Copies of this chain bind each other. A is one copy, B any other.
């Protein structure tokens, strides 16, 4: 289980960002973690989803107010330029999640892939938006991603950067197996993602521990089933009293967690990711060309919601 192709991979978890915290103060925290990641031999560092502000979809407000306070009009912009400058100086790539306002005024939950020369080489806009768009005044908080964001329109891309084929997704995407499969079918070797996951479910009395256990098994099984590394960065802890889960991890293609945060504060974890391990799985048990049977997968794209069972032959041929 060794290879000459290895990459230093780090995850920079963020503790809470409160409403009163400025973008500039957040960028200072990100810069400190970027430097730590580089010092720990990382070639690439993963920052969280919506990493520049508090997780604002928990608050009911008009779209115009959200845009004004929480969206980035340019990337890099004045507040984020130091991240690009420092990455270029250090020679480290990064993933960053932010709320994107486009030139045409469209709003997306977006992540970018930045190479070690500080070029934006890839962009992803979140496809699986959780939550709701209506005001739920009786809920302890809102989850208004369906109000503030459009469904992503760029699909699940894979880019060759830092010498490795890397794909991106965001938060809730990680619970949908299609996310990883579409990237694995484009030869992804690493999938990186950020997340903000409230510890409580406002829709039903879900036991709180499931928020973490389902997060972990989703990352582990999908890393394994696609023969790829997964690196996931939380924003976590209590943002103005609203708690979100931590447990940022790096998962190997074996499905094993090889690095994991222990706090709910700013924390860097890092590993040396051997890309040969994923190749072994993709050459044998998950040799897609040899074993996949798309002729039996049709419903995955033919249906959106669940429907009636299809009639099946009795099999007397």
Chain A residues engaging chain B, CB cutoff 8 angstroms: 1, 100, 102-104, 106, 108, 110, 122-123, 125, 127-130, 151-160, 165, 172, 175-178, 181-182, 184-188, 201, 203-207, 210, 213-214, 217-218, 220-222, 224-225, 254-256, 280, 282, 284-294, 296-310, 312-317
8 A-B interface contacts by CB (under 8 A): A1-B205, A106-B317, A158-B310, A159-B309, A165-B309, A178-B296, A217-B217, A217-B221
Question: By DSSP majority rule, is chain A's interface helix, strand, loop, or mixed?
Answer: loop
Contacts of A214 in B (CB 8 A): 224, 254-255
CA of A156 to CA of B313, assembled, Å: 11
Q: Given contacts A185-B299, A303-B294, is CB(A255)–CB(B315) below 8 Å? A: no
CB distance from A2 to the nearest CB of B (A): 11
CB distance from A74 to the nearest CB of B (A): 11
Contacts of A285 in B (CB 8 A): 130, 172, 175, 201
Instruction: Choose among B159, B221, B300 the residue that contacts A300 (Cβ–Cβ < 8 A).
Output: B300
Instruction: Choose among B186, B205, B300 the residue that contacts A294 (Cβ–Cβ < 8 A).
Output: B300
Contacts of A178 in B (CB 8 A): 181, 292, 296-297, 300
CA of A151 to CA of B296, assembled, Å: 11
* Contacting pair A210 B254 (CB below 8 A): yes
* Contacting pair A292 B305 (CB below 8 A): yes
CB distance from A221 to the nearest CB of B (A): 3
CA of A106 to CA of B313, assembled, Å: 15
* Contacting pair B288 A294 (CB below 8 A): no
Chain B: which residue is nearest A202 at the CB level?
Answer: B284
CB distance from A127 to the nearest CB of B (A): 5
Contacts of A172 in B (CB 8 A): 285
Q: Given contacts A213-B256, A255-B214, A308-B187, is CB(A123)–CB(B314) below 8 Å? A: yes
Most buried by B among A123, A221, A298, A307: A221
Chain B: which residue is nearest A110 at the CB level?
Answer: B315
* Contacting pair B310 A155 (CB below 8 A): yes
Contacts of A304 in B (CB 8 A): 288-289, 292-294
Instruction: Choose among B122, B210, B298 the residue that contacts A301 (Cβ–Cβ < 8 A).
Output: B298
CA of A311 to CA of B256, assembled, Å: 31
* Contacting pair B315 A123 (CB below 8 A): yes
CA of A157 to CA of B288, assembled, Å: 22
Contacts of A312 in B (CB 8 A): 122-123, 154-155, 157, 159
Contacts of A151 in B (CB 8 A): 293
Contacts of A181 in B (CB 8 A): 177-178, 297, 299-300
* Contacting pair A288 B306 (CB below 8 A): yes
Instruction: Choose among B184, B218, B282, B303 the residue that contacts A224 (Cβ–Cβ < 8 A).
Output: B218
Most buried by B among A185, A298, A314: A185
